[in-house]
Amino acid sequence: MMLVMSLTNLFREGAAMKMKMADGSTAVLRRNRPGTKAEMWSKWSDIAYEEMENTLAVQQYIQQAINKDVNDVEGILNQPDGVDEGVWKYEHLRQFCMELNGLSVKLQAECNPETCTQMTATEQWIFLCAAHKTPKECPAIDYTRHTLDGAACLLNSNKYFPSRVSIKESSVAKLGSVCRRVYRIFSHAYFHHRTLFDEYENETNLCKRFTIFVTKYNLMSKENLIVPILDDQELIEGESEA
Amino acid sequence: MMDAGPRKGEGLPKLRDLLRRQREDSLSESMTDSPDIEFLYDDADTYQSEMSELYSYTEECEFALNRKCFEEGFKAKGYDKWTETSSEIRKKHIVYLQNELEIASEERRTNAVHAVLYLVQGVFGECSTLEDQMEWEHRNVHMLYEQGIFTSFVELLSFQTENGKAAANALIKPAVSLADSLDLRMILNVLYTMVETMRVPLQSETEEHKRNRELFTEELVQPYIGDSVLLVSLFVMVTKFCSGNAPHFPMKKVLLLLWKITLICLGGLKDLQDTKNKVRESHGLSPLPEDTYEVCKNMRASSPPASAVDLIEQQLPRRAFRGGKRDDLFMMKSSLNDDPFENGNDADDLMKDVDGIKPNGDDEQLPPTPPRPSTPTVPQYRILPWKPKVRQKDLELFLEHTRKKFVGFHVKNDFTSLAGLPRPIHEGVKVLKQHLYISLTEIQIKKEEEMAKNPLSKPEGEIQSTPVEIFYQELLPNLPQYMIALLKILLAAAPTSKTKTDSINILSDVLPEEMPTTVLQSMKLGIDVNRHKEIIVKAISGLTLLLLKHFKLNHVYQFEFMSQHLVFANCIPLVLKFFNQNIMSYIGAKNSIPVLDFPSCVIGDQVELTAEALENGDSQQYCWRNLFSCINLLRILNKLTKWKHSRTMMLVVFKSAPILKRGLKVKQAMMQLYILKLLKMQTKYLGRQWRKSNMKTMSAIYQKVRHRLNDDWAFGNDMDARPWDFQAEECALRACVDRFNNRRYGNNGTDPDFKPVDNCTQSVLGEDLELCEDFKQNYERWLDIEVFSNQIDWDQVIAH
């Protein structure tokens, strides 16, 4: 058992594609080997959460659920029994940041510092980039990259998140501000690069998942969720306004 | 005065004041000494005072600005009153404000800062009483904290301190004023209010708030942005200010925040005693023989050294007189609380109470009397207030000495055998052993020596990362600079120091842009400036003492490191210089204007300020903060010089005795105690003449300070016996401290051969290893050959 755990540690990011070798003969190799065909990418059989025997089971579980059906947002966000809520939130946010890289790569093609000189969503919101020691108005694409870098730094920081098995409450409290900043990438894409946003959203449902996620765990308030992605979003707005 | 139309409540204290003054006059005629100052030492003053001291009186106009900013924003969103809306809407607005804090437009950001400040100030515009305001203050602080506003403001603070524009502006100006620090002051106000409100819970604290408080305390010890904890960012601000690069930094607020963060994270001094007892217990030591604060509370102040005439007068029937006096005093006090004309009634009740036994039924017919304290009993000390102590070293010296005398030779390392010694010596040893007190310091030093001798067989063991330990690690790299900066500001704030042009200007955050034109205004500013300095002294003295005490308990060499840098930065003469002033008038200083204190200045009807009101100041018998600072500074001096021969000699060389003696005039037991301690340690070196003419002080020392058996402080004349080499002593200590710091915190200090082999699978596998390209491509083959095909008994491997 010790060996399995330490090996997975060695290949941290490849955790979900772990080799199973408990009984040798029927080993399912959960890993995308060099030369894997596109249609075979990540197409290995599912495994129940209880049977995932490693320290990164939560990430493995989340990624498995996403691979299974990206449209089943509720299913992906459905927290299995026995998972610590802090870890659950942390791992999801980690996954969001990873997938947001996909969106930012797409954005790079059309959002450049000359056209989008500021990080804006609707006209009245121009945001400061928190990645610098002095306040700075970075162009939207830089803001996106800086924010994702900053989020990755924080989420991988040994000081705040020394373990992925249990997370201190004071560290969980930091997730809210990451969400708030990261969300601005969605809103910029929605209001300024709509086609690109729709294209990506159709593929991944990422914004929808994010919106439901932050609402479910109270990481952001409805007022800041300005992208109308859910059917009932306007309704909620209207209700609390009354 | 009455014609000017002051509030009714305003006239009453005046009248009382007048009455009291008359009484005081008559009392002082009939008495040779004034009453004791009724002061209880605590970690801080009341919540209200601590909040009001955050603001200078020149900042008064900004309260309205905060209110305006908030109300405009709130109205624009279509809401009316904060106190009357639902918590849903409140939360929504906080989130909106938080978003605004991150917006590029500076104006909108500043507006949001003002609005949040108004919220933590307890939406005073919607409160009619001080209690209301305080409750809203707590509610809002917790709500804002839950939404992560504290973190947002820590980020804002770092933005604003790095803001080169403001610094450049301030640097070219001939005179820096309040206006230059507006942004920083607003942010610091929010942070301070949140910390202080979290620190002092309401009596009706809910479970949820309690949890918030615990979480908050835990968070403060962690780094917020990047790698530095808030404490260090603030210390960096202090050093930057002292180097002259940022004259606009509002130092008073920074220092107050530093002090309060330390207080909330490490805990106060009374709690420290309990912690100390726990640590002692874990080392198998007996608990402290007494509670310092309890003993001080029950101790009566000595009358100050008096002239010969007074001495004769005091020999008149004193005992009977004293009893009467106490009663008189007590009556005076209670009559101040009630209507002064109902004195007769009170006296009647008192008589009945004294009569004691009454049928139960009577109680109901009597009108309920207000609760009063029982007649104070004068504690008669037939016993010493402190249990005498003996150090292990004293015992050893005693044995060595007597053996040499009676047996004629020296027995090494034997502290039990009494062979050949006469009976009285046996008894002496028995008494010494009874009073033997082993301090944690001795244990820590001994352990340190053992570790230095046996680096292999005696490893450090795991160091718990307690808040104190984290703070020490964070402060360690630049601690000397921080200490110098603190003392520099303390020097500038000392009442005796003249404002030199080249010294730092600590008044930039009180002085308004335009100097006052009327007499009233300049009087007000004068009080404001003095108050400002007093508060700075309070914060620095509180912070320094707190850090010294906590480091001392955590590890003596952490304490020695800090104290040595304080000594090197001339802390000892500085504190003496501070006391070289009219200390009585410093304790009695009335540098406050109660009507202008926050929140009184924004709640209820406002009174017009008159010159008379300014002159009278508050109605306090003494100034809490100044007495607090004095005691702290004396305690710091004690901490620095205790058991340090060369530093004690500094006290002698700087002629501290007359300065300290003057401090004895303050009739407060705790303050006197710490002065007497300082006098005791140098009595030996002051000469016979001094002792002869200061017998009263000598007996006060005997009465109040702990006895050390075998210590001949009062009679010894060993001036020549102990050479005084400041350099050598400090160097020896320095070597120990450096060895400690290197071993525990340096990564290159220790010999890598002495480091234990890392055989923890997690950390070994977590290490970054450069793998060659060949290996990377064929690692699975390697796994097969080296790992899977080999039969390894893992249980065996792990067991070893």
Q: Which CATH number does the domain housing residue A203 bear?
A: 1.20.140.30
**The token pair that represents A56 in the structure block:** 């990164």
| B 133-162 residues inside an 8 A Cβ radius of A | 148, 151-152, 155, 158-159, 162
Q: Is A31 on the interface with B (CB under 8 A)?
A: no
Helix axes B479-493, B556-568, angle to 10 degrees: 50
Taking the CA of residue B263 and the nearest CA in chain A, the distance in Å comes to: 19
- Same domain? For A50 and A95 the reply is no
- Per-residue confidence (pLDDT) for residue A91, from 0 to 100: 94
- Same domain? For A175 and A213 the reply is yes
* Structural domain contains residue A78: no
- Same domain? For A127 and A198 the reply is yes
Record: contact B762-A9, CB cut-off 8 A: yes
- Per-residue confidence (pLDDT) for residue B219, from 0 to 100: 87
**The token pair that represents B341 in the structure block:** 């004309």
* Residue where a domain terminates, one of A20, A42, A70: A70
Q: Which pTM does this prediction carry? A: 0.80
- Is residue B85 exposed (0-12), middle (13-18) or buried (19+ Cβ within 10 Å)? middle
**The token pair that represents B39 in the structure block:** 């002061």
- Same domain? For A117 and A45 the reply is no
Below-70 pLDDT ranges, chain A: 1-28, 123, 135, 232-242
Type of residue at B52:
S
* Structural domain contains residue A75: no
Nearest to A221 among B91, B105, B158 (CB): B91
Question: Contact at 8 Å (CB) between A7 and A54?
Answer: no
CA distance A155 to A91: 9
- Same domain? For A194 and A143 the reply is yes
CA distance B434 to A15: 65
Question: Contact at 8 Å (CB) between B36 and B357?
Answer: no
CA distance B342 to A223: 62
> Is A193 one of the annotated binding-site residues?
yes
Residue-wise pLDDT for A131-170, tens only, equals 777 767 889 999 999 999 989 988 988 878 888 888 887 7
- Per-residue confidence (pLDDT) for residue B605, from 0 to 100: 76
Q: Cα A200 from chain centroid? A: 14
Question: Contact at 8 Å (CB) between A64 and A42?
Answer: no
* Structural domain contains residue A76: no
CA distance B519 to B611: 8
- Same domain? For A101 and A176 the reply is yes
> Is A188 one of the annotated binding-site residues?
yes
Question: Contact at 8 Å (CB) between B524 and B601?
Answer: no
CA distance B152 to A221: 16
What residue in A sits closest to B78 (Cα-Cα)? Answer: A241
- Same domain? For A31 and A6 the reply is yes
- Same domain? For A144 and A177 the reply is yes
Mean pLDDT for each 10-residue chunk of chain B (800 residues)? 41 48 42 73 94 94 93 91 90 88 87 96 92 93 91 89 79 83 94 96 90 90 77 94 91 97 95 94 92 90 62 44 40 38 39 39 46 56 83 89 84 78 91 93 93 81 89 95 95 76 78 88 92 96 97 96 96 95 92 88 80 75 94 97 92 94 93 96 89 92 91 73 76 93 74 62 72 85 83 74
Interface test with A, best of B79, B103, B227, B775 (most A CBs within 10 A): B103
Q: Respond yes or no on whether ipTM tops 0.85.
A: no
- Same domain? For A150 and A118 the reply is yes
* Structural domain contains residue A79: no
Record: contact A130-B158, CB cut-off 8 A: no
Residues of A in contact with B215 (CB under 8 A): 169-170, 173
Domain that holds residue A11: 1-70
- Per-residue confidence (pLDDT) for residue B196, from 0 to 100: 96
* Residue where a domain terminates, one of A40, A70, A100: A70
- Same domain? For A60 and A160 the reply is no
What residue in A sits closest to B146 (Cα-Cα)? Answer: A173
* Structural domain contains residue A102: yes
Taking the CA of residue B476 and the nearest CA in chain A, the distance in Å comes to: 19
**Domains of chain A: total:** 2
What residue in B sits closest to A129 (Cα-Cα)? Answer: B102
Residues of A in contact with B164 (CB under 8 A): 134
> Is A116 one of the annotated binding-site residues?
yes
- Same domain? For A60 and A121 the reply is no
* Structural domain contains residue A127: yes
Exposure pattern of B633-654 as b/e (b: 16+ CB <10 Å)? bbbbbbbbbeebebbbbbbbee
Record: contact B148-A135, CB cut-off 8 A: no
Nearest to A223 among B95, B148, B163 (CB): B95
